[in-house]
Amino acid sequence: MSDITKQSLSELVENIKSKKISSSEVTKAFVERSEKSKELNAYITEDYANALNKAKKFDEKPNLDLKLPGIPMAVKDLFCTRDLRTTAGSKILNNFVPTYESTVTQNIWNEGAILMGKLNCDEFAMGSSNETSFFGNVQNPIDKNLVPGGSSGGSSCAVAAQLTPITIGTDTGGSIRQPASFTGTVGLKPTYGSCSRYGIVAFASSLDQAGPMAQNVKDCALLQEIISTYDEKDSTSIDFKRNEYSKELTKDIKGKKIGIPKEYRVDGMPKEIEDLWKKGIEYAKDCGAEIIDISLPHTNYALPTYYIVAPAEASSNLARYDGVKYGFRAEGENLIDMYEKTRSEGFGAEVQRRIMIGTYVLSSGYYDAYYLKAQKVRKLIKNDFDDAYKKVDAILTPSTPSSAFKIGEKTNDPVSMYLNDIFTVPVNLAGLPGISIPAGHDAKGYPLGLQIIGKAFDEQNILNIAYAMEEKINFKNNINDWWIK
Amino acid sequence: MSKNKSEYLINRHDNQYEVVIGLEVHAQVTSESKLFSTSATKFGAEPNTQVSLVDAAFPGMLPVINEYCVKQAIKTGIGLKAKINKRSVFDRKNYFYADLPQGYQISQFKDPIVGEGKVILDMPDGQKEVGIERLHLEQDAGKSIHDLDPKNTFVDLNRSGVALMEIVSKPDLRSPDEVNAYIKKLRSIMRYLGTCDGNMQEGSLRADVNVSVRKKGSKEFGTRCEIKNVNSIKFMQMAIEYEANRQVDLIEDGQTIDQETRLFDTKKNETRSMRSKEDAHDYRYFPDPDLLPLEVSDDFIENLKSEIPELPDEKKKRFIEKFKLSPYEANILVSDIETSNYFENVIKKSDVKLATNWIIGELFAALNEKNLEISDSPISAGNLSKLINLIKDGTISGKIAKTVFEQMMKGDKDPKKIVEEKGLKQESDPKALEALIDKVIDDNRDKATEYKSGKVKLFGFFVGQVMKVSGGKANPQLVNEILKKKL
């Protein structure tokens, strides 16, 4: 079967279950394609030999009752994986091999999936283009020298280029949805507290959330029902009734009320994005949904709020990388000197910039003006959504204010880079679920995504809306395998 | 040093200075496991053998609150008659140090678990109330060991993450003696509650001491200095004395006091500047996003209230009312839970008055001499009770009892057996005593005549002779009676 890597996750699962193909055949196909795709730089650490061994073992004694029977998968290198190097895209963890497994990845292996390797990402997930990775930038399979988005850029690249049938990313301010949008794939950021943060290298604890990335909505739903579990090891994990999202998936969204927030019509938004949004509204109507204009008045303050809260938490979360216990250490004259050299050499420029911003906004004398104020605004942003959800079931917006940009285009302009998160960040601040689905192309033929935002714990509803719209949109990715010689 | 016996004042020239002291006590919570991880907390374990991935701050590790530690803190709050806050928040206190793996300590800053309370001190001239400002939960750091290697520092993370209660007093203390009484009372309350073992040698109880001075009668507080991490009452008292005098000297010299953090050098008996206010750390406190605010219900608190045992103040009251002890005696007996339990066990079957005297007198002296705690007493409460009954029923005299007691201190032996084996039983047979007395009178005819002619003082001489002849075993009361008749 030469077209194994073109199959969706659901097809692969079905074919393995019906014994049409073996796990070894599937794993071999994705490993071979991954090996031919080194130019994309999607992987930080490859574990192909182990993956092939595991596939062989699976085939010897296959358990076909599992949800991911012998399915190979690469994951973002922010998830700690037992005995396999976990770097978070940083030099400071270049040599770090965990002795433990994150809850999310453990859930995946428990369902029979096989780890192929660790995918590239922005350093400590801080970036929107995968250019801050210590391990180099990632190519967007859509076009050479195009960023795949970030921070889950290796993940979006690997799914779009079919190096892995499915993957997981993490999303602190848009790090799943924006790269999905840039690569014509589907990415879900679940409700905060849905997926355990245990064993995920922390960026901003109150915003971080793991989520699935896939080629279609159904695959995304299946992975979400696997990774979302209540976990006592994460105090912010929430014990709520979780659906079997893939089984309860339906295209019947007749009568669903979908809100269109006027504040998302930002100044300078390209006409292409405006047009895409209009098209999205038409698709939703075609599916039987009712469109309602709503207001989220504090939207303008979301980005500045995010760029106070996230760096503040990051500055504290990253204090543990000090060269004392594990990871990279630069020798120094004394303890302070060792700290300074280790952290100057171990962290890249963007991470250092955010540590400095975070340290500043938490300093005594500035705390009230920045951090405390930002927390208050965050509450107002959440209240906006609460008010809106009295009238609507979900909200439809563009995923990003533009399509993918060129590598190097924004590296010297952090603010313009930050502006990329304008539509995704409010969702993290409010702790809500959001999904990005591919919905069209811009003039250059680059994919564009639409975002559907749901009520807390209402993943099923936005998955259903996405599922229904997906059919109407009938999106096709134009990937010509330009990197394969 | 001061005119009023109870007042601690520092005199310089014509000025009298009052010393104002507040304490921040760090008490280790008695708990099998740490505040946010399941690692053990045993003292004296091999370095780095009680460290989890959470304690060592590995990537992606998250804290999970230990409910038992929360209960212990609330119980302590109840023992301090304090307000229990149903909602409290854990904050991060950020600073870098090699023995602080996370790069921050999880503590409580703005919203502690326990609010205002009080502690009553029994001072020689009456009771004194000391206000408690707050009690909060926090993690301990690890230990840096600098003296094992000339170039390297070693780090032991066994303590990292161990639960501490920081108990902050109001600046209500006025003398080293009050500090002594305060620490002892706090320790006593926590030992009654089983929330902190109060073991200062093992570092379970240590304090930061805030000291300032002001002219007597002044209402304003002086500038204070904080003496960090003092780990014995004696050192606290020495540090306060040194620091207060240092501050007075500065003021008398026309200088001002800088607000600063100081260290107490126990070898030189002096405090030294560690860092000034300007150099103080900016800890960048903010709520820990890995932990939700801690919320406890009324039921939760009420359940804990029902588990609170009788505390020293209430016990003292009961001892005075029920057993007619003096406040002095009651104070001594309730000061430590082990002592009060011992006392109550002894008096179950024996006389209260005698028990009180024997415990406070003989037993304490003997234990002190051997440097033993009452829990290690060679004499069990049951056997002391038996000894007291032997005295009470006249089997042995008080004097003989002391001999028996000495024997008992050498190993827990039944006093009845000692009396029997050594033939120490009191002679209370009137006939045998009469014969003895007759002989004594006979041997001292001249003195008997003198007595009869009015020299009544000689009665004591005859008693002494009878006791001597009997080897101390004659029942003194009977000897008195018979002698009176015979003479």
Looking at residue A312, its pLDDT comes to 98
Give the mean pLDDT per block of 10 residues along chain A (485 residues). Answer: 86 97 98 98 98 98 97 98 98 98 98 98 97 98 97 98 98 98 98 98 98 98 98 98 97 98 90 96 98 97 97 98 97 95 98 98 95 97 98 98 95 86 97 98 96 98 98 95 93
Q: Which of A156, A175, A315, A399 is catalytic?
A: A175
Chain A residues close to B104, C-beta within 8 Å: 316, 319
Distance from C-alpha of A119 to C-alpha of A139, rounded to nearest angstrom:
13
Domain borders along chain B are 9-304, 310-422, 430-486
Residues 6 or more apart whose CB falls under 8 angstroms from that of B464 comprise none
Distance from C-alpha of B127 to C-alpha of B330, rounded to nearest angstrom:
14
A-chain residue closest to B64, CA distance: A235
CB contact under 8 A, A324 and B155: yes
CB contact under 8 A, A100 and B53: yes
Looking at residue B2, its pLDDT comes to 42
CB contact under 8 A, B59 and A371: no
Inter-chain contacts counted by CB atoms under 8 A, chains A and B: 96
CB contact under 8 A, A320 and B62: no
Which of A81, A121, A316 would best serve as a mutation to test chain B binding (most B beta carbons within 10 A)?
Answer: A316
The answer to whether B282 contacts chain A (CB < 8 Å) is yes
A-chain residue closest to B91, CA distance: A316
Residue A378 lies in a domain: no
Residue A316 annotated to the active site: no
Which of B157, B160, B286, B288 would best serve as a mutation to test chain A binding (most A beta carbons within 10 A)?
Answer: B286
Looking at residue B5, its pLDDT comes to 56
Going from the C-alpha of B67 to that of each of A34, A394, B35, B74, the distances in angstroms are 48, 38, 8, 11
The sign of the CA dihedral A349, A355, A361, A363 is negative
Report the number of distinct structural domains present in chain A.
Answer: 2
**Same structural domain for residues A124 and A204?**
yes
**Same structural domain for residues A188 and A266?**
yes
Under CATH, to which class is B430-486 assigned? mainly alpha
Q: What is the CATH number of the domain that holds A427?
A: 3.90.1300.10
The answer to whether B98 contacts chain A (CB < 8 Å) is yes
Tell which B residues from 126 to 185 touch A, by Cβ distance under 8 Å. Answer: 153, 155
Distance from C-alpha of B237 to C-alpha of B241, rounded to nearest angstrom:
6
CB contact under 8 A, A320 and B64: no
CB contact under 8 A, B284 and A316: yes
Chain A residues close to B103, C-beta within 8 Å: 316, 318-320, 322
Residue whose pair of structure tokens reads 């507080």 in the numeric block: B221
**Same structural domain for residues A318 and A399?**
no
Chain B residues close to A234, C-beta within 8 Å: 62, 64
Distance from C-alpha of B479 to C-alpha of B434, rounded to nearest angstrom:
8
Which of A201, A320, A370 would best serve as a mutation to test chain B binding (most B beta carbons within 10 A)?
Answer: A320
Give the domain range for residue A267: 4-297+383-473
The sign of the CA dihedral A454, A458, A461, A466 is positive
Radius of gyration of chain A (CA): 21
**Same structural domain for residues A305 and A453?**
no
CB contact under 8 A, B284 and A325: no
**Same structural domain for residues A337 and A223?**
no
**Same structural domain for residues A224 and A351?**
no
**Same structural domain for residues A292 and A308?**
no
**Same structural domain for residues A361 and A428?**
no
Boundary (domain end) residue, out of A342, A373, A404: A373
Which parts of B151-207 fold into alpha helices (H)?
A: 176-193
CB contact under 8 A, B60 and A200: yes
Going from the C-alpha of B211 to that of each of A183, B224, B232, B272, the distances in angstroms are 65, 5, 16, 14
Residue A67 annotated to the active site: no
Question: DSSP 3-state assignment of A440?
Answer: strand
Q: Where are the beta strands (DSSP E) in A369-419?
A: 394-398
The answer to whether B92 contacts chain A (CB < 8 Å) is yes
* Among B366, B327, B325, B370, CA closest to B343: B325
Pairing of strands A210-214, A167-170: antiparallel
Boundary (domain end) residue, out of A312, A338, A373: A373
**Same structural domain for residues A290 and A320?**
no
Residue A484 lies in a domain: no
CB contact under 8 A, B101 and A325: yes
Looking at residue B3, its pLDDT comes to 43
Distance from C-alpha of B15 to C-alpha of B5, rounded to nearest angstrom:
18
**pLDDT 10s per residue in chain B (487 long)?**
444 556 899 999 889 999 999 999 999 999 999 999 999 999 999 999 999 999 999 999 999 999 999 999 999 999 999 999 999 999 999 999 999 999 999 999 999 999 999 999 999 888 999 999 999 999 999 999 999 998 889 999 999 999 999 999 999 999 999 999 999 999 999 999 999 999 999 999 999 999 999 999 999 999 999 999 999 999 999 999 999 999 999 999 999 999 999 999 999 999 999 888 777 789 999 999 999 999 999 999 999 999 999 999 999 999 999 999 999 999 999 999 999 999 999 999 999 999 999 999 999 999 999 999 999 999 999 999 999 999 998 888 888 889 899 989 988 688 988 888 877 777 777 888 888 888 888 888 888 888 888 888 888 888 888 888 877 778 888 888 888 887 7
| For residue B340, cis peptide bond before it (omega within 30 degrees of 0) | no
Question: DSSP 3-state assignment of B396?
Answer: coil
Pairing of strands A394-398, A257-261: parallel
**Same structural domain for residues A126 and A177?**
yes
The answer to whether B103 contacts chain A (CB < 8 Å) is yes
**Same structural domain for residues A29 and A139?**
yes
Residue A151 annotated to the active site: yes
* Torsion angle in degrees (nearest 10) through CA of A248, A252, A253, A255: -130
What pairs with residue B271 in β-bridges? B264
Closest CB to B59: pick one of A96, A313, A363: A96
**Same structural domain for residues A168 and A23?**
yes
Residue A485 lies in a domain: no
